[in-house]
Amino acid sequence: MSEENSVPEGVDLAVLTAFMDAHKLGEGPLTDLIVLTGGTQNILLKFTRAGRAFVLRRPPPKLRANSNETMRREARVLAALAGSDVPHPGLIAACPEETMDGAAFYLMEPIDGFNPTVGLPALHAGDPAVRHRMGLALVDGIVALSRIDIAAVGLQSLGKSEGWLERQAPRWKAQFDSYAAFPDWCNEIPGVDEVGAWLEAHRPARFRPGLIHGDYHLANVMYRHDSGELAAIVDWELASVGDPLLDLGWLMAMWPEPGAAAAPVTPWDGFPTIEEVIARYGEGSGRDLTDLAWYGVLACYKLGIILEGSHARASAGQAPKAIGDRLHASTLNLFQRALRWIA
C-alpha cells in the first residue's frame, strides 16, 4: 500500500538532502515521493534521486523512549547482514545522530516484493505448490539467520547472552504485572501463573547464542512476485542476541492449527503443517530441538503478554477499545494454546 506525492510528518527533506549530499548519494532534487504503509508504526518514505530509488526509515513523529535506539539497532543489524544469505533490505547509509526532527534514520534499498497477509498475486493464489514453497522459504529465512556468526559480524553486544534463559519468564511476568497501573484493567488471563511456572520448571539447561529476529511471522516478510521465495525479512526492531529457537517458537505460536477458522494468508491450503515447518528447521539448522516445546510455550507467553498491553491501555482510554478487545482475544487464544502444549 502507498500514498503518493506526500511528505509525512517528521520527515525533513532539507535534512535528508544534506545527509545524502554528505554521503555522495546522488545529486539534485528528491522526486517520486511515496509514503509506504502496511501496518508499521515507523515512517517509510520511498523516493528517487538521480535515477536511483531509496527508502527512508525513521521512527514515528511522536518518539517513544527507545525509538532512536531502535533505529540505530536496525541499521546495525542490516549492516551486519550485508553479504549473507539472509534475505534482508540492503542498508545504504545510516544517520545515528538525531538530526531529523529529533530522530535517527537510515536509508535502505527498496524491496521488489509483496507481503502475503495483504493479498496474494495470481501466481501464488492459484497454486498450492507455490504456497507450500512459501512456507518452506519462511523457515529457510530463520535457518539462515540462525547460522550468522555473531562474533564475526560484530553483533555480540546486541544483547546479553549470559543468563538469557533465566531472564525470560521473569522478564515477561514483570511486564504483565506492570499493567496493573492502568485503571479498569482486568488481569484475569487464565494460565498466566501456570504457564510462567512451567517455563521456570522446564527451562533448558543451556543454549547456543545467535541472532534472533524477535517478531518472525508472515506479516514481517516479503515474497518475490515470480516465485515462492523470500524477497526480504523486514521490521528488525526487536532483533537481539539470544537463542534463535525462539524465532521458530514464534512461528509455532502463530501458525494456524488444523481446522482454524482464520489464517494469516488466504488461501491457506498448500502451506506446510507446523510439523513440516519444525522438521525443515531441524534439518537446515542442525540445532538440537529436544527442548523446542519450551520455546513454543515461551513465544505464546511473551507474545500474549505483549498484546495484552494494548488491552490494558485501552481499558484506561489510552488506545482504541476495538483494538484492545481484539488483541485481548488473541492473548486468550495464545494462553489456551500454551496450556494445551504443557498439559
pLDDT digits (tens, 9 = 90+) for 61-82: 988 889 999 999 999 999 999 9
- The predicted pLDDT at position 39 comes to 53
Instruction: Answer whether residue 123 is part of any domain.
Output: no
Give the burial class of 125: count Cβ atoms within 10 A of its Cβ; 0-12 exposed, 13-18 middle, 19 or more buried. middle
What pTM value is reported for the model?
0.93
Instruction: Answer whether residue 2 shows pLDDT above 70.
Output: no
Instruction: Answer whether residue 266 shows pLDDT above 70.
Output: yes
Instruction: Answer whether residue 221 is part of any domain.
Output: yes
Instruction: Answer whether residue 85 is part of any domain.
Output: yes
Q: d(Cα 26, Cα 21) in Å, to the nearest integer?
A: 7
Banded pLDDT at 187 (limits 50, 70, 90):
confident
CATH code of residue 27 = 3.30.200.20
Instruction: Answer whether residue 113 is part of any domain.
Output: no
Total count of domains within the chain: 2
- Same domain for 312 and 268, yes or no, is yes
- Same domain for 132 and 271, yes or no, is yes
- Same domain for 244 and 311, yes or no, is yes
- The predicted pLDDT at position 333 comes to 95
- Same domain for 40 and 155, yes or no, is no
Last residue of a domain, one of 53, 77, 108: 108
- Same domain for 157 and 288, yes or no, is yes
Instruction: Answer whether residue 281 is part of any domain.
Output: yes
- Same domain for 200 and 241, yes or no, is yes
- The predicted pLDDT at position 81 comes to 98
Banded pLDDT at 261 (limits 50, 70, 90):
confident
Average pLDDT over residues 27-32: 96
Name the grid cell of 227. 516465485
Which residue carries 537463542 as its cell? 243
Q: Which domain, by its residues, includes 276?
A: 128-342
Instruction: Answer whether residue 249 is part of any domain.
Output: yes
Instruction: Answer whether residue 170 shows pLDDT above 80.
Output: yes
pLDDT digits (tens, 9 = 90+) for 106-134: 999 999 999 999 999 999 999 999 999 99
Last residue of a domain, one of 73, 108, 143: 108
Instruction: Answer whether residue 309 is part of any domain.
Output: yes
- Same domain for 54 and 179, yes or no, is no
- Who contacts 16 (Cβ-Cβ below 8 Å, separation ≥6)? 30, 56, 100, 105
- Same domain for 138 and 276, yes or no, is yes
- Same domain for 151 and 92, yes or no, is no
- Same domain for 214 and 67, yes or no, is no
- Same domain for 103 and 142, yes or no, is no
CATH code of residue 172 = 3.90.1200.10
Instruction: Answer whether residue 256 shows pLDDT above 60.
Output: yes
Instruction: Answer whether residue 119 is part of any domain.
Output: no
- Same domain for 73 and 143, yes or no, is no
